[in-house]
C-alpha cells in the first residue's frame, strides 16, 4: 500500500482530493452487530465541518455522509463499510494564480517532486479536507468503544498561538466552536483570531485528547506499543509537528522519584505516563497532546519559486483556516479512537483467554 | 503479528528477554550486494553498549553480534539476515526482592495484567536491552543509505534533567560517552550525574537526531507519512514520551509568516518543518527530537503494590542506568535509519520511473 | 483488516453488496504518470458483464465505472484511485422465498454463523458480483504491466462440466462470449449449456490464464513466492476449488527427468514449472489453471435446513449463472495482473540496483 | 518484508540457509499461558527429519530445536518465541562440480537472476531444509489449536509417482516412514522407491491433509478467505505445483446437484467443499490436497547452461531426496496448522462477541 490505509485489524482506507468529486472511505474489521446509522457519523462530521464560525474557512460543504455498504437493518454486518462525502464547493479558479508557484510550508512542492505531477487545485490529496474520512472512521470506532468497553474520548484546544487555554470543564469544551475547555477565554480568543485574520497571517495550536475507560492491557510491546501507534496516527494528521504522551517533554526535566507514578490498592497516584507503560495501557486515562503548525496558505507575501525554479513571490488568497488547530480537536479524537479500537481487537485476538490477575481499585 | 516486527519493506523482527540466553533479530528486505561484515554492525553496538562509563549500568555485556544468515562472501544475498546477541551477565537474583512488587513507572505491571504471566527477571521482554536489535538493524540500514544515497544520520544528547546541552559540533558529539555535542559541558554533566547517582534517583533526557542527504520525495502521503512513521518508531523506543519533527511544539506559538520555510532557487531559507512537508521529504535535513523519561528503577523508596494488590514499598537496587537517555543516541539514530531505508525502498517501488522535475540548488 | 484488502504494494480494497446501492474499490500504490481513462477500465468490465449471452445471469447491469480520485488530466497521480460501480437491477424479492433457508454449497450459512447476522438478499457480500472490483483493479494493473514491461495476460475457458475445450488460438478466445479458445467447439458448448439450463442444474469449469513477457526475477522466496501469491489470489475468487501452476497435479506422476525443464542458451526447452522456480519468475510464460465449482443456486430441489435448524427443501429461482466459470476468465486474468504488478513493484523496491547477469536468449 | 514472514496475527519469520550455521525462526502472536516445551516441537521435527529411511536424503541432521525466548517456567509468555536449529552436516564440496551450472527445475537460476548473487551450496535459501522452521511453528500452532478448540490436523501420502495409495486408517499413516495410510501398500512403495533410486531419477507425489474439529466461522470473506490463505501457504512449500480444497479439480465435471453439500439438522450430508464455503469454515473437516513435483537434483544427465550462458550438461550427485513428497506430510500439516491458528485469532478479534445462532449436529 502507499499510505492510504492504516490500522492492523480496524483498518481505514481513504481516497479523494480537495477538488475532485468526492472523498471516500472504507472501514474494514468493524465487529458485526453494532447499531450504526448515518446520523452517528454525521454528528461527528458536523463538529469538524468548515464554516462553523468566522474564524475558519468559509468553504461551504455540508459534509453529508453517504453509507454504501456494511450495514443491514441498522447494524454492522462485519463486512467492509464503504462511504462517501461529496465535495460541493470547489473553487478551482482560486488556485489559478498560484498554479505554478509553491506555498512555503505546503506539501505542493514535495508532491510534485515525488510524483512528477502537480494537481494545483486546493492541495489535491494533501488537503486537510481528507480528515473528513478520519472523523467518519473514528465515529464508528468511538461508538463501538463506548458500547463495548465504556471508553469515552474527548479533546480540547489547549493553546492558540501564544494564548494558553486552561482546562476548566468538558462542558465548556463542548459549548463553543473553538473546543476551548474554559469558556471565559472566549473573548480573548475571538479578539486574537480577529486580529490574526486581519493581519493575513496564521498561527499554530495545541490540542489535548483524553481517553477515559481504557482497560489495562491494550497495546503490544516493543514495536507495536499503544503509544507508538498513537504517535504515528497523530503525526499523520495534517500540520502536526509534535506528539506527547502523558508528561511528554516535561519528563526530560523530571526526576524518577517525581515521574514514576506510585501505585496503591486504589489505583495510581498520578499519571505522568499518560496511561501507558511499556506500550501497554495501565487502565488510567490515556492523555495525548499534539502541536499543530500554522496554516501555510497566508495572504502575506513570501519568497518562493515556481515550477521552473525561478525566484518569485506568493500570496495565497483562497478560503483557508487561519489556524488549522481550531478544527483539529475532532480529528485528533478520531485518530485516538481508531488506534484504541485497533488495539482492543488485537488484544482480544491474542489474550482473549487471559484471566486478569487482581486489579487496582 | 504482535508487536515484534516493524517496517513495510525493510522489516525488522526481534526476540529475546533480558535474562534469557540471547536476543535475536531478523532483517528482511535488505537489497542484495551490500558489503556487510559483523564489524559494520559491531561498531554501532559498541556505541550503545553498557559499561561505557560509570554513569550507566555496570552490567557486563560484550554485545557480540553473531550473523547466522543472509550474507555470502561478504555481501548481502537479498534473503533474511538473522543474527544473535548473547546475554552474558544475567543476575536474576537481583530481582528476587522485587519479584512480587511493581516498580512505579515500569512495564512489569502492565505486562502482568495483559498476559497474566510475570517474568520478574530484569524486565523480561520490556527491558531496554532489546534495543540492541534495533541498533543492529539500524547499522545495516545506515550503511546502505550512506552507500546508495549518501545519507548520514547523527544524533546527540541535547538535555539531561534540567541541563541543556547546546550543539557545538558533530566532532564533539562523537568524542565522549554522553554524545554531548558541546564537550565544554562535560564537567557539568559528570558532576550532575555523580550527584544524581549518589542520590539514588534518576532523570530524563532529550536526544536530537538529524539525517542529512535524504533526497526529496521519500514518504507517502496521508497515513504513511515519513514523519508519522518516524514518530511511531521513536515512540516505540523504551522510555520515550514525546517526539518532535522540525520546530515541533515551538510551532504552536509561531506565525505562518515565521514558520513556513521560504524557498529560493538555491534551496529553503529555513527548516522549521524538519525536512518533511505533507509527509514527504523536502531534501533538507530531517530533524527529530525525542523526550526520554527518567528510569523507573531507582533506589529511593516508593509506594507501590504487590501481586496481591496489597500496599507496600519498593526500592530497586539492581544495575540500572540512572538516565536511559545517556545511551539513547545510537538507538534513536538506528530507528531513524530503519524508517528512512523503508521509505527509500517504498519510494522506488512506486515512483522508480519518475523523472524528477527541476530541483532546488 | 478483515479480508477486504489485498496486495502488499499494489493494494486493492473492496466494498459493496449484491443488493446495496453500489460496489466500490480503492487501488493504492499505482505508479504516477500512467495514462488512464474510465474507458480503459470499462472495456474490461464489459468482458465480465452479466447478460452477454443467454447462458449467463440475465440481471441487467451496465457496470459503469465512475472514477472518483487519483487521476488528474488523464494520468494517475500516484495517490489512491477510488471508484464506484452502481447496482442497477436488484430484485431483492427474488430472495424472499429463501430468506430463511440455506442454499447447499452457498456461503449464506457460514456468513450467518460467523457474523450472527443474515443479509439474505442475493448473497450479500458473498455474491460473485464483487468480482467487478477485481476486474477494475486488474484493468489498471494490466495496462501498467503492458506499457512498462510488455506483459500481456490472457485466459480462456478450458473445460465446462465434462466438455474439454482445447486451445487453438487467442483469436478464438477473444471472439466469443465463452472465452473458448477453439471456436469450433461453440455448437457443442451452446447445446450443452442449453440442456444444462433446461435441466435446472449447474456445472463446474476450468479456466487457464497465461502471462507472457514477465521478466525473470519477480517473486520473493520462501513465503512470498510469486506462485504462492497467485494461488492465494486465485483461490480467493468465488467458487474456485483448485489451483495449478505449470504442470500442476500432472507433476505427481512425472519423473524428474521429464518434469525439470532443460535449459539452453536460447531458453528453456519446456515449461512444466509454469514460469516459476523457487517462487521466482523464470522469464517464461506464467501458466495458471483453476477449477470452479458448479453454481450453488439451482432450480433442482435439495435437502437443507432453515434458520431454526429445521429440515426443509430449497429450490433457487432467481437469476443465476448456471456455470460461473463462463464469466470467470476476465476475473482470473485480473487477479493474475494484480499479483504480477504487486511483485513487479516489490522486486524493484529491493532489487532495483541489481545488474542482471547474462540471460537466456 | 521480502517473503520471510507469513501470517497476520500468528506470524512466522524464518531465516537460514542450507549450508550456513543455522536456521532460525520467530513465532509472534502466540497467546500466553500455553504449556510448551522443546519436546513438543522436537517430536514434530523428528517426523520430518532426514535419514528416517533409505528412501530419503542421508544428510545427518539431528534437527535439535533450541528455544531462545518467549517461554517462562514452561509456558508461553505472549512475547516472541525465537528458536534455532543448527546445521550439522553441511558438505559444501558436494556442490563444487555444479557451482557454475544450473539444475533444470531448480531455483538456483532464478535466485541468481533476481539477486545477482549465487550461493551454490546446497540451494542456499531455496533449500527445502527451510521447512524445518515451518514444522516448528506448526507444532506450536497445533498444540494451541488442540488444547483450545480440540482441532486435530493429520496428513498422509496419497500418491507417489504413478502409485496411488488409498486411505485406510490414520493408524496406518502414523505407523510408517512414508506416511502411507494403507500399510498394505508398503512393499509396493519400497520396491518403487528402490527402483527409482537405482535409476537415478526422481518422482512427484500427492499429499492430503485434514483438519478435524475446526469450528464454523473461521476465515474472512473476499480476499482473506480461509481457503485462499491455505492455498497460498501450501503453494509456498518447496516443490508444490497444485492445491485443491475439497473436491478440487473434480468439481469441474460435477453438477451443482452433486457438488453442493446438502444439509440436515444433524449436519452436512457430504463434503465436496472441503469444509469451507465463501471462504469461511463450515464446521466440517477441512480437506486439502497438494501436488509436489519431482526433485530437480537427479543423477541423470540433463542439458543446461552455466553462468556464462554456455550450453553444458549436469548430473547432481549430492545427497538428495528422490521424492520430496515422502517427507512433505508433516510440512503440509504444519502450514495448515499455522493458517488455522491465524484465522482462529483473527476471528475472535472481530467476532469475539457474536453469539452463535443455532448450529448443526
Tell whether the model's pLDDT for residue A41 goes beyond 70.
yes
User: Does pLDDT of A92 surpass 70?
Assistant: no
Task: Say if residues D96 and D107 touch (Cβ distance below 8 Å).
Answer: no
Owner of C-alpha cell 506422476: C253
Nearest to B229 by CA among B125, B341, B133: B341
Q: Is C270 exposed, middle or buried (0-12, 13-18, 19+ CB in 10 A)?
A: middle
Confidence category of residue A265, pLDDT binned at 50, 70, 90: very high
Report the gap between the CA of A71 and the closest CA in chain B (Å). 25
The predicted model gives C152-180 an average pLDDT of 96
Query: HEC string of B83-151?
Result: EEEECCCCCHHHHHHHCCECCCCCCHHHHHHHHCCCCCCCCHHHCHHHHHHHHHHHHHHHHHHHHHHCC
The predicted structure's pLDDT at residue B61: 83
SS3 content of chain B, % helix, strand, coil (to 5): 35, 20, 45
pLDDT at A53: 79
Distance CA D98, CA D121 (A): 9
B-chain CB neighbours of C348 within 8 Å are: 348-349, 352
Does the pLDDT value for residue D167 go beyond 90? yes
CA dist., res. D46 & res. A137, Å (int) = 49
Instruction: Kindly state the percentage of chain A with pLDDT values over 70.
Output: 97
CA angle (C125 as vertex; C120, C131 as ends), nearest 5 = 130
pLDDT band per the 50, 70, 90 thresholds, residue C94: low
- Taking CB atoms and an 8 Å limit, are A33 and D354 in contact across chains? yes
What's the pLDDT score for residue A93? Answer: 64
Cell numbers standing for residue B201: 534517583
**Which of A231, A360, C149 lies closest to B288 in space, CA to CA?**
A231
Q: Judging by beta carbons within 10 Å of its beta carbon (0-12, 13-18, 19+), is residue A39 exposed, middle or buried? A: exposed
How far is Cα B69 from Cα B77, in angstroms, rounded to an integer? 9
Cβ pair C352:B353 closer than 8 A: no
Residue D44 half-sphere exposure toward CB, CA atoms < 13 A: 30
Residue C265, all three cell numbers: 542458451
The predicted-structure confidence for D147-162, as pLDDT tens digits, reads as follows: 999 999 999 999 999 9
Burial environment of residue B266 by CB neighbours within 10 A (0 to 12, 13 to 18, 19 or more): exposed
Per-residue confidence band for B1, with pLDDT thresholds at 50, 70 and 90: low
Q: For residue A12, what pLDDT is reported?
A: 98
In this structure, the number of other CB atoms found within 10 A of the CB of residue A177 comes to 15
In this predicted structure, the answer to whether residue B119 has a pLDDT above a threshold of 80 is: no
Report strand pairing: A22-28 vs A81-86.
antiparallel
Instruction: Please tell me the predicted confidence (pLDDT) of residue C1.
Output: 66
Query: Which of B269, C234, C243 is closest to D290 using CA atoms?
Result: C243
- Decide: A209 and A332 in contact? Cβ < 8 Å: yes
**Alpha carbons A281 and A214: distance in angstroms, whole number:** 7
Q: Which of the pair, B87 or D120, is modelled with greater confidence?
A: B87
C227 in reach of chain D (CB within 8 A): yes
Q: Which three cell numbers stand for residue C94?
A: 427474488
Distance from CA of B73 to the nearest CA of A (A): 32
A325, D330 Cβ separation under 8 angstroms:
no
Q: Average pLDDT in the C109-133 region?
A: 88
**C137 vs C60 pLDDT, higher one:** C137
CB C162 to CB D112 under 8 A? no
Q: How far is CA A8 from CA A214, B119, B343, B358, in A?
A: 19, 28, 19, 38
Q: Average the pLDDT over D250-265 and give the result.
A: 97
The nearest alpha carbon in chain B to C342 belongs to B349
Q: Do B353 and C79 touch (CB under 8 A)?
A: no
Residue B42: in which H helix or E strand, if any? helix B38-48
Whether chain A has a CB inside 8 Å of the CB on D2: the answer is no
Could you tell me if A103 and A214 are in contact, meaning their C-beta atoms sit under 8 angstroms apart?
no
Q: What are D274's three cell numbers? A: 472441503
- Name which of D235, D238, D307 is nearest C231 (Cβ-Cβ): D235
Say what the pLDDT of residue D361 is.
Answer: 64
Subunit contact A260:B347, Cβ cutoff 8 A: no
CA-to-CA separations, A16 to A2, D131, D324, in angstroms, rounded: 14, 44, 51
Q: Give pLDDT tens digits for A98-113.
A: 788 999 999 999 999 9
What pLDDT does C273 receive?
A: 98
Q: With 90 as the cut, is the pLDDT of residue B123 above it?
A: no
Task: Tell me the average pLDDT across D312-319.
Answer: 86
- Confidence check: pLDDT of A346 > 70: yes
Per residue in A285-330, pLDDT (tens digit) is: 999 999 999 999 899 999 999 999 999 999 988 777 899 999 999 9
pLDDT at D89: 80
pLDDT at B357: 81
Among the listed ranges C237-241, D174-178, D205-209, which one has the minimum average pLDDT value?
D174-178
User: Of C14, C28, C32, which is closest to A4 when you measure between CB atoms?
Assistant: C28
Counting as contact any 3 or more CB pairs under 8 A, the partners of B are: A, C, D
Residue B2 contacts D, CB cutoff 8 Å? yes
Residue B288, min C-alpha distance to chain D (Å):
25
CA distance D292 to chain C (A): 6
SS3 letters across B151-168 = CEEEEEEEEECCEECCCC
How many CA within 13 A on the CB side of residue C119? 25
Please give the interface size between A and B, counted as residue pairs whose CB atoms are below 8 Å apart. Answer: 411
User: B12: distance to nearest CA of chain A, Å?
Assistant: 10
End-to-end CA, chain C: 44
pLDDT of C293 > 80? The answer is yes
DSSP conformation letters of D68-126: -SSEETTEE-SS-EEEEEE-----GGGGGGGTTB--TTSTHHHHHHHHS----STTGGG
Which B residues 59-88 touch C at CB under 8 Å? 78-80
C-alpha cell recorded at residue A167:
482546562
Q: What is the pLDDT of residue B59?
A: 73
* The predicted structure's pLDDT at residue B89: 80
| Mean of per-residue pLDDT scores for chain C | 93
Predicted confidence at residue A259, as pLDDT, reads 97
Q: Quote the pLDDT of residue C120.
A: 67
Per-residue pLDDT, A54: 82
What string of DSSP letters covers D203-240? B-EEEEEEEE-PPTT-S-SGGG-HHHHHHHHHHTSTTE
Strand C163-164 to strand A71-72: parallel, antiparallel, or no bridges (unpaired)?
A: unpaired
Chain C contact set for A18 (CB, 8 A) = none
Of the candidates C2, C68, C72, the beta carbon closest to that of A21 is on C68
Spatial contact of A161 and B252, defined as CB atoms under 8 Å apart: yes
- Judged against a pLDDT cut of 70, whether residue C122 lies above it is answered with no
What is each CA distance from A341 to A31, A79, A229, D224, in whole angstroms? 10, 16, 12, 20
| Rounded percentage of chain B residues whose pLDDT exceeds 70 | 97
Average of per-residue pLDDT values in chain B: 93
- What integer pLDDT is reported at residue B320 of this predicted model? 79
Ordered alpha helix ranges (H), A150-222:
170-174, 186-199
Is A181 in contact with A236 (CB distance < 8 Å)? no
Taking alpha carbons only, the member of C154, C261, C283 closest to residue C208 is C154
Nearest-CA distance D185 → chain B (Å)? 41
Give bridge partners of residue C288 from the DSSP assignment. C209, C245
Kindly state the percentage of chain B with pLDDT values over 90: 83
Query: Is B293's pLDDT higher than 80?
Result: yes
Other beta carbons within 10 angstroms of residue D39's beta carbon come to 9
B330 interface with A at CB cutoff 8 Å: no
What is the value of pTM for the model shown?
Answer: 0.97
Segment C28-53 shows an average pLDDT of 92
Please, are residues B203 and B160 in contact by the beta-carbon 8 Å criterion? yes
CA–CA gap between residue A283 and residue A347 (Å, rounded): 14
More confident residue, D361 or B54: B54
CA C24 to chain B, closest CA, distance in angstroms equals 20
Which residues of chain A does C32 touch, with a Cβ-Cβ cutoff of 8 Å? 115-117
Angle between helical axes of B329-351 and B131-149 (0-180°, round to 10): 50
Q: Are A130 and A193 in contact (CB under 8 A)?
A: no
The stretch C136-154 carries a mean pLDDT of 98
Chains contacting A with at least 3 CB pairs below 8 Å? B, C, D
pLDDT at B52 > cutoff 90? no
* Among D280, D279, D260, D282, CA closest to D270: D260
Q: Is the pLDDT of residue D97 over 80?
A: no
pLDDT tens, residue by residue, C325-349: 999 999 999 999 999 999 999 999 9
Order across the sheet with B5-6: list the strands: B5-6, B11-15, B22-28, B81-86, B65-67
- Joined grid coordinates for residue D219: 476465515
Neighbours of chain D (3+ CB pairs under 8 A): A, B, C
Mean pLDDT of B46-69: 85
* Contact between chains at D117 and B82 (C-beta distance less than 8 A): no
Mean pLDDT of D184-207: 96
- The whole-angstrom separation of Cα D101 and Cα C264 is 11
At D145, is the secondary structure helix, strand, or coil? helix
Q: What is the CA radius of gyration of chain A?
A: 21
Q: What is the DSSP string of C193-221?
A: HHHHHHHT--B-EEEEEEEE-PPTT-S-S
- pLDDT > 70 in chain C, percent: 97
Q: What is the pLDDT of residues A216-260, one digit of tens each?
A: 999 999 999 999 999 999 999 999 999 999 999 999 999 999 999
Say if strands B65-67 and B81-86 run parallel, antiparallel, or are unpaired.
antiparallel
Q: Specify the higher pLDDT residue, B175 or D94.
A: B175
Q: Could you report the per-residue pLDDT of C30-40, keeping only the tens digit for each?
A: 999 999 999 99
Contact criterion met (CB below 8 Å) for C243 and C288: yes
pLDDT at D218 over 90: yes
What confidence score (pLDDT) does residue D357 get? 82
Amino acid at each position: 500500500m502507499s499510505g492510504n490505509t492504516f490500522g492492523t485489524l480496524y483498518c481505514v482506507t481513504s481516497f479523494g482530493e480537495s477538488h475532485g468529486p468526492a472523498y471516500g472511505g472504507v472501514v474494514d474489521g468493524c465487529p458485526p452487530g453494532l447499531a450504526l446509522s448515518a446520523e452517528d457519523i454525521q454528528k461527528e462530521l458536523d463538529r469538524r465541518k468548515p464554516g462553523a464560525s468566522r474564524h475558519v474557512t468559509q468553504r461551504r460543504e455540508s459534509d453529508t455522509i453517504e453509507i454504501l455498504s456494511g450495514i443491514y437493518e441498522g447494524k454492522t454486518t462485519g463486512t467492509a463499510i464503504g462511504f462517501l462525502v461529496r465535495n460541493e464547493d470547489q473553487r478551482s479558479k482560486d488556485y489559478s494564480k498560484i498554479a505554478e508557484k509553491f506555498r512555503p510550508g505546503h506539501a505542493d512542492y514535495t508532491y510534485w517532486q515525488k510524483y512528477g505531477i502537480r494537481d494545483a487545485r486546493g492541495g489535491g490529496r494533501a488537503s486537510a479536507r481528507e480528515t473528513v474520512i478520519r472523523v467518519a472512521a473514528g465515529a464508528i470506532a468511538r461508538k463501538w468503544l463506548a458500547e463495548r468497553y465504556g471508553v469515552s474520548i474527548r479533546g480540547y484546544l489547549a493553546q492558540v498561538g501564544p494564548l494558553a487555554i486552561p482546562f476548566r470543564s468538558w462542558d465548556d469544551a463542548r459549548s463553543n466552536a473553538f473546543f476551548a475547555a474554559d469558556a471565559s477565554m472566549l473573548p480573548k480568543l475571538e479578539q486574537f483570531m480577529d486580529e490574526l485574520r486581519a493581519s493575513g497571517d496564521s498561527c499554530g495550536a495545541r490540542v489535548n485528547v483524553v481517553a477515559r475507560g481504557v482497560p489495562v492491557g491494550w497495546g503490544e510491546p516493543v514495536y507495536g506499543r499503544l503509544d507508538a501507534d498513537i504517535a504515528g496516527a497523530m503525526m499523520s494528521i495534517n500540520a502536526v509537528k509534535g506528539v506527547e504522551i502523558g508528561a511528554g517533554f516535561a519528563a526530560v526535566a523530571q526526576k524518577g522519584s517525581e515521574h514514576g507514578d506510585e501505585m496503591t490498592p486504589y489505583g495510581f497516584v498520578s499519571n505522568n505516563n499518560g496511561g501507558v507503560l511499556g506500550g501497554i495501557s495501565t487502565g488510567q486515562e490515556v492523555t495525548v497532546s499534539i502541536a499543530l503548525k500554522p496554516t501555510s496558505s497566508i495572504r502575506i507575501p513570501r519568497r518562493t519559486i515556481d515550477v521552473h525554479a525561478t525566484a518569485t513571490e506568493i500570496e495565497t488568497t483562497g478560503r483557508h483556516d487561519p489556524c488549522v488547530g481550531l478544527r483539529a480537536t475532532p480529528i485528533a479524537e478520531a485518530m485516538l479512537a481508531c488506534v484504541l479500537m485497533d488495539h482492543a481487537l488485537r488484544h482480544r485476538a491474542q489474550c482473549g483467554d487471559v484471566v486478569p490477575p487482581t486489579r487496582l481499585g
